[in-house]
Chains A and B, each alone.
Chain A
Amino acid sequence: MTPKRIILFDNYDSYTHNLYHLLTVSIPETDIQVCRNTNRQLFSENFDLLVGGPGPCTPNETGVLKELFDKKIIPQQIPYFGVCLGMQFLAWYYGYPIKRSQNPTHGDTILLKHSGTTLFQNLPQKFPVARYNSLEVDVYDLTQSPFEILATEENTNAVMALRHKTLPLYGIQFHPESFITQFGKEILHNFYKQVFSNE
Chain B
Amino acid sequence: MNNPIIVYQENILQITPPTLEKLICWVHQLGGCLLYTTPNTNHSLCRWIVGLVPMIVHKGLEIQTADQSLTVSPLHLIDTITEQAETDPECPIWIGYVGYDFKDWLEEPGLYQGLKDSEFDYCHLAIYRYVLEIDTIKAEARLYTLAVEGLDASFPELDFNASCYFSAFHVSNLNTNKNREQFICDVETIKKYIRAGDIYQANLTRVITGHFEGSVELLALNLLKSNNIEFGGFFSNQGKTIISTSPERFFKVEGNRITTSPIKGTIPRTDNEAENQRRVFQLTNDTKNRRELAMIVDLLRNDLSRVCLPGSVTVNSFPELIALNNVYHLVAHISGQLGKKSFETIAKALFPGGSISGCPKIRACQIIEELEKIARGPYTGMLGYIRKNQDMDFNILIRTVMLANSKLRFNVGGGITLLSDPDDEFMETCHKARNILATIQPQK
Contact = CB atoms under 8 A, between A and B. Distances in A.
Interface of A: 12-18, 20-21, 24-25, 36, 54-58, 85, 100, 104-108, 130, 132-135, 175, 177-180
A85 B360 CA distance: 12
Nearest to A56: B363
B200 interface: yes
Interface in B287-319: 287, 290-295, 297-299, 301-303, 305-306, 310-311, 313, 315, 318
A15 B197 contact: no
A62 B302 CA distance: 20
Given A24-B310, A25-B310, A56-B363, A104 B295 contact: no
Contacts of B200: 106-107, 132
B195 A21 contact: no
A85 B310 CA distance: 24
B199 interface: yes
Contacts of B292: 107
A17, A57, A178 — which one has the most chain B CB atoms within 10 A of its CB?
A17
A161 B179 CA distance: 45
Contacts of A57: 196-198, 363
Contact of A24 (B291, B311, B363): B311
Interface of B: 108, 194-201, 287, 290-295, 297-299, 301-303, 305-306, 310-311, 313, 315, 318, 354, 359-363, 417-418
B294 A107 contact: yes
Given A21-B310, A106-B295, A107-B295, A14 B194 contact: no
A132 B305 CA distance: 19
Q: Top 9 nearest A-B pairs by Cβ distance?
A: A107-B291, A107-B294, A106-B200, A17-B305, A107-B295, A24-B310, A56-B363, A14-B360, A135-B197
5 contacts: A18-B298, A25-B311, A56-B198, A107-B294, A179-B315
A18 B291 contact: no
A57 B361 CA distance: 13
Contact of B195 (A20, A100, A175): A100
A18 B302 contact: yes
B302 A178 contact: no
A131 to B, nearest CB: 10
Nearest to A178: B298
Given A106-B291, A107-B200, A18 B194 contact: no
Contacts of B360: 12-15, 54-56
A85 B199 CA distance: 12
Contacts of A16: 302
B195 A14 contact: no
A97 to B, nearest CB: 14
B274 to A, nearest CB: 31
Given A14-B354, A107-B200, A21 B305 contact: yes
Given A57-B198, A134-B194, A135-B197, A104 B418 contact: yes
A171 to B, nearest CB: 16
Contacts of B297: 179
B298 A175 contact: yes
Contacts of A106: 194, 200-201, 291, 295, 417-418
B13 to A, nearest CB: 45
A104 B195 contact: yes
A58 B363 CA distance: 13
Max chain B Cβ within 10 angstroms of own Cβ: one of A12, A24, A54, A56: A56
Most B Cβ at <10 Å: residue of A15, A25, A54: A15
Given A14-B299, A14-B360, A179-B315, A56 B197 contact: yes
A134 B417 contact: no
Contacts of A107: 200, 290-295, 298, 417
